[in-house]
Amino acid sequence: MANPEPPLVFTGLKLDIPATEAAGFTAVAHSLKHVFGAMPVARGFKALFKLNQKQGIDCPSCAWPDPDAHRSSVAEYCENGAKAIAEEATTRKVGTVFFQRYSVNELSEKSDYWLGQQGRLTHPMVIREGQTHYEKVSWEDAFSLIGNKLKSLLTPNDAIFYTSGRTSNEAAFLYQLFVREYGTNNLPDCSNMCHESSGVALTETLGLGKGSVTLEDFNKAEVIMILGQNPGTNHPRMLSALEEAKQHGAKIISINPLIEAGLLAFKHPQKLKDVVFGAEKLTDIYLQVKINGDLPLLKCMLKLLVEADINSSGKTLDHSFINKNTANYDILLKDLEQYSLETLSESCGITLTQIKEATELLINHNRIIVCWAMGLTQHKNSVSTIQEVVNLLLLKGSIGKEGAGTCPVRGHSNVQGDRTMGIYEKPKQAFLDKIEEVFGFRPPQEHGYDTIEAIKVMHEKPGKFFVGMGGNFLSATPDTQFTAKALTNCDLTVHISTKLNRSHLIHGKTALILPTLGRTDIDKQASGNQFVTVEDSMGIVHSSEGQLSPPSDTLLSEPAIVVAIAKATLGKSSKVNWEELCTDYDKIRDLIEKTISGFEQYNQRVRKDFGFYLPNAPREGQFTTKNSKANFTINPLSDIKLESDEYLMMTIRSHDQFNTTIYGLNDRYRGIYNERRVILMNEKDIQALKLQQYQVVNLINYHGKTERIAERFIVIPYNIPSRCVATYFPETNVLVPINSVADKSNTPTSKSVIIKITPVVEDGNTILAKV
């Protein structure tokens, strides 16, 4: 089998002092360097000037919303957005000669960064059992191969249909429609691995698995809490919203195991004030919590709020809101009585004095927004932690009013939209009934597999079929060696992709790579140039229209590929007129309008201004739970216990990275350059293990009595709580156990991995990396 992990090669580590502010002209320079290093100047400027503009290209990076008004006509994008454009709109190409030159095994020894830098895929490729190289295949033969395999399976449930969050609304809707007419709900997606915990927690407590705030709410908030999120790297345009909020008087509380530059200060490169007088300070109170210490911290804050309410004769909490809109308030108060402030303080790693200082802001203000990302969603108790966030907001009446609410900050640019379109293994009955009403076939009623369940099924039973609509499934998922075996067990694996990635190299007996148009590419169909639509983190649906010539005239759009697979599989028995749907995407949107509420006059509204908001009941103070109330919940503390030689590891992204896409080898804000195989450790822990800076170590996880090893990592002293360590994703995904998942959401616990650290010894000597 080819190598499922990045190669164990050091690239020359360099360290610097971590940054204390984000963005500025340095970010502009790096943005332009990436863009103009990937394409001619004219093409680069055209892409950038159309990025996040009306009738332009929606950024293929994160899902942070565009401003409703006052958006910059010069540069409504961030450094990471520019890097994403450079990655997709590059003029470098991976054609048929490339695959003749490199075998799959040879490619698997290349780094993820190298693979991504080779360019855009240009032709459909196939590799058959026993072959060493991919070779060109016609589109017709590729679709025939897929259709024949799907028709030959004993049951439709032997097929897995994965979706990445960059897939457009139109492609996602067609994809789930085909899959359900084929006969299965096996529609795992990247949400299963990131914000599934948010969806479960918010649905149970508020009735909707999405955030409740709008961008304008940030300018009306009095307090903004940011937990488990690094916006300077992962959602840089959020910094503009935080800066404006500060200028409107908001206080910011940041809660994170690492001190992140983007939470400290922001230098807006388009604002003369920032350029002349320096960066805007963002965080007022920074709580450097232990990994997975968020729940005891929040519970401590709840107790302090309740105490303050008693001392103020009921003037701290919003009792009018609580009595009218919530359930289980008395049960929550009773549960809080069992905890002591001192024990909770010790559990989270924050002094009681610091916690009281932060809570004082909550006591004295009522318009509170809480933001979070995967630092909260990838623990065993993630759903409970997010529900404790909701408890806090409900106590203060900070749901359903301006300047207040929940804000789960999502990564992929349309991951929320894909779920709205029906990419979900557990669809609601009302959605299935509507499909039957509109299309005339009865979709399957039983739930399908989520991502973790799909990996286990493919691992246990050979002969499956897997297709990935975008993404890099192998590198995004946990337990790399386990997942690799699952993929190689399949009879046929198919990846619909724009760029080469490691998932193409760890394949089934037969494998296909189907190259597709990207967000930046002009999509010309029979009725003319097309646009697609996406939904951002705050529920705004807007258009995205490619502006650049595609890298090859052989590429097909994602909707066209789905249509072709449907026709090859379902044939004339289908109830859907597939052919007409890929000639004019308005027709797809017409069907979405008939099927999904909130999309009334879809084609008309999405063409106006900057799109439209979907209905959001919690935003309006309405809760569509079973009891029509916002529900307080009881959330027990985590029971993670570390032995004396164990450490709690969280996986993180570098600044030169978006999800599994590696833009470069630098983590500029953290002062780490030219290397990714590093482990960030507390200085005291390094001394306790008798290690030293730059020493090479192996990282080992023993969950479920299975040994998992991530080899040859370089020790770096860093400001991180004791007994906590951080490593880059996906290099240490190999350590994330397939059976270690969040309660209720089944999300991998990539932020709570128990490891041991052992020095690498060669010829009886420990090793220091060359720097």
Residues 527-555: tens digit of each pLDDT: 999 999 999 999 999 999 999 999 999 99
DSSP state of 746: -
pLDDT of residue 9: 76
Q: What is the pLDDT of residue 69?
A: 58
Predicted local confidence at residue 558, as pLDDT: 98
Segment (H or E) for 358: helix 352-363
Q: Do residues 207 and 618 make contact, with C-beta atoms less than 8 angstroms apart?
A: yes
Structure confidence by residue, pLDDT tens digits, 397-442: 999 999 999 999 987 789 999 999 999 999 999 999 999 999 999 9
577 — alpha (psi -120 to 50), left (phi > 0) or beta?
Answer: beta
| pLDDT, tens digit, 9 for 90 and up, residues 301-316 | 999 999 999 999 999 9
Q: In 3-state terms, what secondary structure has residue 755?
A: strand
Name the stretches of the chain with pLDDT < 50. none
Cα 671–chain centre separation: 24
Whole-number Cα distances in Å, 456 to 93, 188, 716: 35, 13, 35
Bridge-based pairing of strands 661-662 and 657-658 is antiparallel
Tokens for 552, please give them.
Answer: 């090859």
Alpha helices (H) in 10-138, listed in sequence order: 25-38, 41-50, 79-89, 96-101, 104-108, 112-117
Name residues whose C-beta falls within 8 Å of residue 284's C-beta, 6 or more positions apart in sequence: 251, 252, 253, 361
Provide the b/e sequence for 577-588 (b: ≥16 CB within 10 Å): ebeebbbebbbb
CA-CA distances (angstroms) from residue 360 to 252, 320, 333, 432? Answer: 12, 21, 19, 48
- Residue 287 belongs to what H/E stretch? strand 285-287
The token pair that represents 170 in the structure block: 């139109």
d(CA 82, CA 77): 7
Q: State the angle between helix axes of 41-50 and 25-38 in degrees (0 to 180), rounded to the nearest 10.
A: 120
Nearest to 374 by CA among 713, 748, 761, 93: 748
The per-residue pLDDT for 54 is 84
pLDDT of residue 490: 97
8 Å CB contact between 423 and 162: no
What pLDDT is attached to residue 5? 84
Q: Measured at the alpha carbon of residue 214, what is the angle toward residues 210 and 217, in degrees to the nearest 5?
A: 130
Q: What's the rounded Cα separation, in Å, for the pair 160 and 466?
A: 5
Going by C-beta distance under 8 Å and a sequence separation of 6 or more, which residues neighbour residue 49? 74
**Order of strands across the sheet that contains 532-535:** 532-535, 540-544, 612-613
